[in-house]
Chains A and B, each alone.
Chain A
Amino acid sequence: MKLLKLVPDNTNIHFLKWRVPFYVVSMILIAASWGLVLTKGLNLGVDFIGGQMIRVTFERTAEAPVSELREQVAKLGYGEPVIQRFGKPNEISIRMKLPEGSEGDAALSDKMSRTITADIKRNHADARIDGVDSVSGKVSKELGWDAFKALGFASLAVAAYIWLRFEWQFGVGALFALIHDVSLTLGLFAITGMEFDLNIVAALLTLIGYSLNDTIVVYDRIRENMKKFRKMPMPELLDLSVNETLARTIVTSLSMLITLLALLLLGPDVIFGFTAAITLGIFVGTYSSVYMAAPILIWLKVNPNSFVPTETAMEKQERLARERA
């Protein structure tokens, strides 16, 4: 049987030749992502801003009466609801954040969700309440802070681990690649207005783990080649390492994408955002392991001697003793 070979043997693509323009583009993309996040803002879910989200299925109606519902819920006096379809046309989610300035009222989110569900059930006999998420102002603040801590700790912890296993320059490179991946994913959420909830934070944490896989594979090869080819200039050595691991990078990324696409297209609607975040993360993670993590080693002046065992104090004394003798 003839086997599929996506990447020909002995490729010699000069990836690092274009490192400066690519770096500039990456930096612009990171800056743009943050600009979007700060100006347009993330479409934060009730997990982080408090309020309630109710999922309703209209069992005997082909299409949910969205505009009628919008009017009806707005009349309850908590403000304008955000009504979105999810899944089939008769399945909707009604999202409502806490009214301005009432974040301190612990029982309000619950009261809102009770009022709204009761109202829907009264006016629509075929409405089936499929899910209720209601989060009070205080709990939402705690959830947000926990999410922030988890992301921060995870990024620093994995960077520290890489520093420990390699050299400090590699740790910085990995951290940069991470910031790149997470920023671009956040940017996607800002630009598409997809809901950003706790699941997305879990997706970002997963991303931190998996996007580093690529980086580690490339770094591992760089380290190996640095020991092997002591005289080779860094750009050339990095190119060699990236080329040598290219087949693996492509095959693995494709494997992940195959399973993720299945989940994205056929999987449960409730975790669509979650899957989308990881899918995008795999794309940018593959790119960043080549164009963010590797070139930074040149600028941070990684020394090929870094991985050669240096003389210990005792060995030095022995050598001096030998020389004297």
Chain B
Amino acid sequence: MLDFPRWKVIWLWFVTLICVVAAIPSLTSTMGLGWPSSLPEPKINLGLDLAGGSHILLEADPSQVRLQRIEGMEESVRNKLKQDGQKAGREIRISDISNRDGALTFVVADATQVDAVREAVLPLTNGAGLTGQRDWDINVVDGTRFVLKPTEAGISQAVTQAMDTAVEVVRKRIDALGTKEPTIIRSGPSRIVVQVPGLQDPQALKNLLGQTAKLEFKLVDTAAIASDVAQGIAPPGSEIVPYVSATAGGGAAVEVVKRLGGIRGDQLTNAQQTNDQQTNEPTVTITFNTEGGAKFAKLTQQNTGRRFAIILDGKVLSAPTINEPILGGSAIISGSFTTESANALAISLRSGALPVDLKVVEERTVGPDLGADSIRKGMIAMGVGTLALAVFILITYGRFGVYANLAVFINVIMILGIMGIIGTTLTLPGIAGFVLTIGAAVDANVLINERIREERHRGRKVVQAVELGYKEASRAIFDANITNVIAAVLMFAFGSGPVKGFAVVLLIGIATSVFTAVTLTRLWVAQWLRRARPTEIAL
């Protein structure tokens, strides 16, 4: 038990040394000292709750994706039937189109054309997933009514694609803000976690992420009857869209626009915040790519003299009259912006529209001042606690207490070193975990020392008592640590950010404390016993 072959001694010191060296960068940086930049720097990262920053959980609504797919299908079906009708020289007429109740339904006017419609619609569906399922179910009921329903596999595939795009868009927007080291990760099927360190006020960030930036240009339906619109009834083929604010509409609260025939403002090469030359009001200038420019030119050419509405995320920004065809491929959008909101819109448009609306469902922001305060107080508490504990252990166990304290000291350094090596994040509960580990680590030494005391009382010789002390106490130390590991692992599995950080410190602390409190102290005690050969020990 107390025999330590030379290789074992060297090995123990080697392991300890590595951890100590790895801890140096973390220690020097808190003390404001440097570390040679040519060497690898295993440093502990500070969590958002200590360094300050924002953790934002964004969530998309999968039912929105379903609706978008159905609306997209409606447009595809219409276009396809129009083309096929022209090709065959005979128009295919459909009516009673509905996209409610999670399916697209329509009735083919001429029953003899049902097969032709089926032929036309089938290629619009695709395979989804590995099971050979398709993304749409096509059924014909009552002979002429088509029911096109997106399958679950199709929806989940579409959600996955939308979220992949959304992550990219979010990344571009955050990069445009110029923040340092953002973390952006998918979480589950329809969520994105965004972590940005060092922000005092995440408002600008949230504004940017909350904006879907779906820009549309739709023609105003001038045939709408005012009294119907007031009751919320739009003419067939049109829809009522509210103004973004009361001032934007210049008195009008809503605008009636044609559902189809407009264009999307997503084919852009650039978007910039500009100012109106006459009024100096903030505006956004967008530049279309070739295809988008051609579409925009066509729309403005065909509708000169009419009004069109510029719609952002389902709200009308403005509805100007098209005075002349706009052929230059760029357009200026005004809509009672502030410089900030115009700038945010420009960034959003540049980074592309989000394929789905993202809502902030959870936010954790800690200002850098509060974080710094937490670190300071945490360090003071740790220092005072450790010192008080060291004194208590010293006056209780004398020489054995010195060993125990030395073990605690090395333990702290080792935890820091290992955290640095594996690059974990220290959170505020993690600091508490540190303090707790220090308190608990001496438990192993208390168990051992009390046992040695006991064995001495039973009349055993010094060496024998020490040997038995370590042997008999090890069992309980082992079992106790296993239960702690169980609790910490579950905490890691179910906990959120800061709590995970706490669990990591506990787990590392359990491992290192067994090493320092049991193995290292045994080495020291053994060496002392061999050197001094005491016949009596003070315990």
Residues on A lying within 8 angstroms of B by beta carbon are: 1, 3-6, 9-10, 55, 57, 106-107, 109-110, 113-114, 117-118, 128-136, 138-139, 143, 146-147, 149-150, 153-154, 157-158, 161-162, 165, 198-199, 201-202, 205-206, 208-210, 212-213, 216-217, 220-221, 224, 244-245, 247-248, 251-252, 254-263, 265-271, 274-275, 278
> Which single residue of chain B is at the shortest CB-CB distance from A256?
B439
Q: Is B277 an interface position by the 8 A CB rule?
A: no
Contact check, B494 vs A3: say whether CB atoms are below 8 A apart.
Answer: no
Contact check, B370 vs A206: say whether CB atoms are below 8 A apart.
Answer: no
- What 0/1 pattern do residues 345 to 373 of B give for CB contact below 8 A with A? 00000000000000111111111011001
Contact check, B398 vs A3: say whether CB atoms are below 8 A apart.
Answer: yes
**Among B367, B438, B439, B488, contact of A129 (Cβ-Cβ < 8 Å):** B367
Contact check, B388 vs A262: say whether CB atoms are below 8 A apart.
Answer: yes
**Among B49, B210, B435, contact of A259 (Cβ-Cβ < 8 Å):** B435
Stretch at the interface among B291-299, B321-329, B479-487: B479-487
* Contacts A/B (CB < 8 Å), 26 sampled: A1-B538, A109-B362, A109-B363, A117-B203, A128-B367, A129-B200, A130-B367, A131-B366, A133-B364, A134-B363, A153-B490, A157-B486, A158-B483, A198-B498, A202-B429, A202-B491, A206-B502, A208-B487, A210-B484, A247-B450, A248-B447, A252-B442, A255-B446, A258-B392, A262-B381, A271-B431
Contact check, A256 vs B440: say whether CB atoms are below 8 A apart.
Answer: yes
Contact check, B499 vs A198: say whether CB atoms are below 8 A apart.
Answer: yes
Question: How many chain B residues touch the partner (CB < 8 A)?
Answer: 82
| Majority DSSP secondary structure for residues of B touching A | helix
Q: Is B496 an interface position by the 8 A CB rule?
A: yes
CA distance A152 to B389 in the complex (A): 33
Query: Chain A residues with Cβ under 8 A from B432's Cβ?
Result: 263, 267, 271, 274-275, 278
Query: Chain B residues with Cβ under 8 A from A199's Cβ?
Result: 429, 498-499
Query: Chain A residues with Cβ under 8 A from B210's Cβ?
Result: 110
Query: Chain A residues with Cβ under 8 A from B49's Cβ?
Result: 270
Given A128-B367, A259-B438, A266-B381: A220 in contact with B446 (beta carbons within 8 A): no
Given A252-B442, A268-B373: A198 in contact with B496 (beta carbons within 8 A): yes
12 new A-B contacts, CB < 8 A, other than A135-B363, A270-B49, A274-B429, are A130-B369, A139-B361, A143-B496, A149-B494, A201-B495, A202-B502, A205-B491, A213-B484, A251-B396, A258-B385, A267-B380, A268-B373
Contact check, B476 vs A136: say whether CB atoms are below 8 A apart.
Answer: no
CA distance A135 to B359 in the complex (A): 12
Contact check, B395 vs A3: say whether CB atoms are below 8 A apart.
Answer: yes
Query: Chain A residues with Cβ under 8 A from B385's Cβ?
Result: 258-263
CA distance A10 to B396 in the complex (A): 17
CA distance A94 to B491 in the complex (A): 28
CA distance A205 to B210 in the complex (A): 36
> Which single residue of chain A is at the shortest CB-CB distance from B437?
A259
Given A139-B361, A251-B396: A259 in contact with B482 (beta carbons within 8 A): no
Contact check, A260 vs B486: say whether CB atoms are below 8 A apart.
Answer: no
CA distance A143 to B499 in the complex (A): 12
Contact check, B393 vs A255: say whether CB atoms are below 8 A apart.
Answer: yes
Q: Is B206 an interface position by the 8 A CB rule?
A: yes
Given A106-B61, A134-B363, A263-B432: A146 in contact with B453 (beta carbons within 8 A): no
Given A106-B359, A275-B432: A248 in contact with B450 (beta carbons within 8 A): yes
CA distance A153 to B476 in the complex (A): 23
Restricting to B198-214, which residues have a CB under 8 Å from any CB of A?
A: 200-203, 206, 210
8 nearest CB pairs, A to B: A262-B385, A209-B487, A150-B494, A267-B381, A259-B439, A209-B484, A259-B385, A110-B360
Query: Chain A residues with Cβ under 8 A from B491's Cβ?
Result: 150, 154, 202, 205-206
Contact check, B494 vs A252: say whether CB atoms are below 8 A apart.
Answer: no
**Among A202, A206, A255, A268, contact of B442 (Cβ-Cβ < 8 Å):** A255
Contact check, A268 vs B431: say whether CB atoms are below 8 A apart.
Answer: yes
With most chain A CB atoms within 10 A of its CB, the pick from B362, B398, B482 is B362
Contact check, B479 vs A220: say whether CB atoms are below 8 A apart.
Answer: yes
CA distance A314 to B58 in the complex (A): 64
Given A106-B61, A128-B369, A149-B494: A255 in contact with B364 (beta carbons within 8 A): no
CA distance A162 to B476 in the complex (A): 11
Contact check, A3 vs B360: say whether CB atoms are below 8 A apart.
Answer: no
Q: Tell me how far the C-beta of B47 lies from the nearest C-beta in chain A, rounded to whole angstroms.
A: 12
Contact check, A150 vs B201: say whether CB atoms are below 8 A apart.
Answer: no
Contact check, A258 vs B388: say whether CB atoms are below 8 A apart.
Answer: yes
CA distance A270 to B377 in the complex (A): 10
Contact check, A263 vs B381: say whether CB atoms are below 8 A apart.
Answer: yes
Query: Chain A residues with Cβ under 8 A from B6's Cβ?
Result: none
Contact check, B482 vs A278: say whether CB atoms are below 8 A apart.
Answer: no
CA distance A202 to B501 in the complex (A): 11
CA distance A266 to B387 in the complex (A): 14
